[in-house]
Amino acid sequence: MELLSQLPVRKIKLYGFFFLLCLYGFTVNAQNTYTIYDDDNLVPNGSHLKDVNNDLNKFIGTWKTSVGNREYIFNLIKKGRFFSGLWQ
C-alpha cells in the first residue's frame, strides 16, 4: 500500500485508464465471420466467409462434363489459409 500512497492521484487514474483500455482491446473482434449460407446482401465486402459445417466437402474431387463436342474437367480442392508469419 505504500506504493499507492506515493503515486499522485493523476498517475493512478492514468494507469487505470490504460489498464481498462487494454482489457477492452482484448474483447474487440477484428473481423466478423459469416457462414456460406448468410444472405449476400447482409455480408459486407471484404468479410471472412467460412464453411463452418464442412458442407463444401461434398464438391471436392474431379468433375467432368461435356458440352457439345468439348469436354471440361474441373479438379476442386479445399485449401485452408493459416497465418504463419507471412501469407503464402
Dist. CA 44–CA 31, nearest whole Å: 11
Give the whole-angstrom CA distance, residue 16 versus residue 22. 10
- pTM here? 0.42
Top mean pLDDT of 2-11, 13-22, 58-67, 75-84 is at: 58-67
Where in the sequence is the domain holding 72, given as residue range(s)? 2-76
83 within some domain: no
Is the pLDDT at 29 greater than 60? The verdict is no
Would you say residue 34 lies in a domain?
A: yes
Report which of 82, 83, 64 is spatially closest to residue 74, judged by C-alpha positions.
64
Q: Total domain count for the chain? A: 1
